[in-house]
Amino acid sequence: MFRFILRRIAIAIPTMLILIIISFVLIKSAPGGPFTSERPLPEQVLANIEAKYGLDKPYHQQLIDYIVGIVTRGDFGPSFRYKDRTVNDVIAQGFPVTLTYGFWSFIVAVSVGVSLGIIAAIFHNSWIDYFAVGISIGAQVLPNFVMAPILVIIFTLWLNWLPGGGWHGGQWQYIIMPVIALSTSYMASIARIMRSSMLEVLNSNFIRTAKAKGLSWRRIIFKHALKPALLPVITYLGPAFVGMITGSVVIDMYFSTGGIGREFVNSALNRDYSVIMGITILFGFLTISFNLLVDILYAWIDPKIRY
Amino acid sequence: MVKMVIGAKKIAEMAENIASKEMGKSHSLWADAFRRFFKNKASVTSLIVLILIVIFAFGAPYISKWNNEEIDWAILGSINELGRPSLANGHYFGTDDLGRDLFVRVAQGTQISLLVGFVGALIAVIVGTLYGAIAGYFGGKIDSFMMRLVDILMSIPYMFVLILLLVVFGRSIFMLFVGLGLISWLDMSRIVRGQTMVLKNKEFIEAAIAGGANHFTIIARHIIPNLLGVVIVYASLLVPGMILAESFISFLGLGVQEPNTSWGALISDGAKTVLHGRLWQLLIPLAFFVAGLFSFFFIGDGLRDALDPKDR
């Protein structure tokens, strides 16, 4: 197990490096430097600014400095558009918000999805099963950017129950719609995966044996069937996590929650390269670490996996 | 003489009958798939819906008296009342916030979304099939290197890299195609690789090697044609995936730019005006988006049932 974890980390590190290098190369190949503007700066001024940010060094040196800065000091460098703040400031400001509703979305998607899948499998071919299948098909075409405006129409415009946006320090009424919008399609996918794997497990021989022994339903489901049936769901957690991180950009844009996503889109529109790059790398790091965790969890649960 | 002519005719007819039956048999795999697909009610309905959407996308600009850039100044001040969908003033789907006719805008957006879907999927199919076939066919070190690269690329949050790509090289439809295509071939290459590894140990490949065919002939003439079923099934699911990705990016305002539009861009515009009560600006593009994606998913399902030998 320990060797497996080490080997998995040995893959994660080059992945991270490749992400940094890809973003770095992309940005360096952009036409014009970060300080090119409509009114060209005097050459001496430009040279001074570039020297200040270390942009006069050769590219490979800049790349090494950038990576060393991130690894040793957790420093993503300055914003090229706003002199008074760094990329770290941007992240520190928005990240707690993104983390809050992202965490709840993940919890909701997994817990509701898994429960719905189990219930649908137990009551196979009943109305509750059809209901679960129905929403899991429907939710394929209801991604976050479709859910968000629909929720606003229902809960803000018609029912007037919830505010249509804002954050206000994360009061519950401001969190509900972002969480539903972000989690629905993943909840549905998890329910679908859980249902089909649970059905398969419930039809297998060891469950028949358990039934023959006269075990109670609760014991069969939770003690015997749940663990093997969860495996396909665990493999899906990685993609679901990536999807939610990506979706958080839409949530921040639409609900004005003040998370990191809006900064990302605004810097994309302003070509504030260092902010885009910092956020991309931060999200890449989260994704890669999460995938690492999922793989370890999987290896731990599945006895068949070879280390 | 006459008798002989009749005889010859009859013989020819019989020969043709035999030949056509023979032809039928030799094509039975595809004919079977075709029959199976058209037995599936959901897929056939979806196919009809999709055809209607395509007809709308290309036909609507000819029906409407408005074009996609014209602003209807008469209603501009009071879109909430006069901009509603109505038959009287020719705005069948109402107008957008700038007084442009939504009927034509939706048609234009549909064209672009479909185009993005198909072109993105096509790029992914070409790159993914070649990559996967080469990795699977050669195996060994080449394979493990190529597939490790795919693993690594897969664990990168691609949407951010795509947005980075669009920011760096300018936000144009062309860049969107390239970006989506570059990113979406990964799954395809995995599927194709797996299938190729099964195929390459079959007798007909051995025969081709014994016949002196070189590697690229074998891949191009013997492996890829046999992958077609799997590739078609997966490609049919790639199209809605591409449309979703494009809509996501356009929703953020980073994708298709004015005066062009797409389903995502229209939904984005509509979503902004929801609280002003102009619901049609959101719901009409949304209806097309949902109907289009549903059709693609069900057609993909039908194709999989029809073509995938595993599920039978």
Per-residue pLDDT tens over the stretch B181-218: 877 888 889 888 988 888 888 888 888 888 888 888 88
pLDDT at position B77 is: 67
**At residue A39, does pLDDT exceed 80?**
no
Segments of chain B scoring below 70 in pLDDT: 1-9, 11-12, 14-28, 68, 76-77, 79-80, 82-83, 308-312
What does the pLDDT look like over A42-96, one tens digit per residue?
778 778 877 777 777 778 888 888 888 888 777 787 777 777 778 888 888 888 8
Label residue B286 exposed, middle or buried (CB < 10 Å: 0-12, 13-18, 19+): buried
Mean confidence (pLDDT) of chain A: 84
Is B286 within 8 Å of A146 when comparing Cβ atoms? yes
In this predicted structure, the answer to whether residue A232 has a pLDDT above a threshold of 80 is yes
Per-residue confidence (pLDDT) for residue A36, from 0 to 100: 65
Q: Which of B306, B299, B146 is nearest to B228 (CA)?
A: B306
Q: What span, in angstroms and rounded, lies between the C-alpha atoms of B30 and B33?
A: 5
Query: Higher pLDDT residue, B277 or A282?
Result: A282
Whole-number pLDDT of residue A114: 93
Burial of B17 (0-12, 13-18, 19+ CB in 10 A): exposed
pLDDT for res B22: 52
> Which residues of chain A have a CB within 8 Å of the CB of B282?
149, 153
- What chain A holds in terms of domains, given with CATH numbers, is 89-301 (1.10.3720.10)
For chain B, the straight-line distance linking the first and the last C-alpha, in angstroms and rounded, comes to: 55
pLDDT in the model for residue B312:
43
Q: Which residues of B touch A143 (CB under 8 A)?
A: 244, 247-248
Asked if the Cβ–Cβ distance from B254 to A29 is below 8 Å, we say: no
- Determine the longest span between alpha carbons in chain A, in angstroms: 86
- pLDDT (0 to 100) of residue B62: 84
Query: Considering only A7-16, A169-178, B1-10, which range has the smallest mean pLDDT?
Result: B1-10
Q: A residues 111-140 near B, CB within 8 Å?
A: 137, 140
Spatial distance between the Cα atoms of A110 and A104, rounded to a whole number of angstroms: 10
Q: Is B277 on the interface with A (CB under 8 A)?
A: yes
Subunit contact A246:B157, Cβ cutoff 8 A: yes
- Over the stretch A246-257, which tens digit does the pLDDT of each residue have? 889 889 888 888
Q: pLDDT tens for residues A106-141? A: 999 999 999 999 999 888 888 888 888 888 888 878
Report the gap between the CA of A212 and the closest CA in chain B (Å): 31
In the structure, what pLDDT confidence band is assigned to residue A104 with cuts at 50, 70 and 90?
very high
Question: What is residue B1's predicted lDDT score, i.e. its pLDDT?
Answer: 44
Provide the shortest C-alpha distance from residue B40 to chain A (in Å): 17
| Helix ranges restricted to H, chain B | 2-26, 28-39, 41-63, 79-82, 102-138, 140-154, 158-169, 173-199, 203-210, 215-217, 224-251, 263-272, 280-307
Q: What local confidence, expressed as pLDDT, does residue A110 receive?
A: 93
Residue B74 CB partners (closer than 8 Å, separation 6+): B82, B89
Listed in sequence order, the DSSP H helices in A58-165 are 59-68, 87-122, 127-138, 144-151
Q: With beta carbons under 8 A apart, name residues in chain A contacting B148.
A: 11
Q: How many helices (H) and strands (E) does chain A have?
A: 12, 0
Q: What is the model's pLDDT at position A172?
A: 79
Type of residue numbered B86: S
Q: Which chain B residues have a beta carbon less than 8 Å from that of A21? A: none
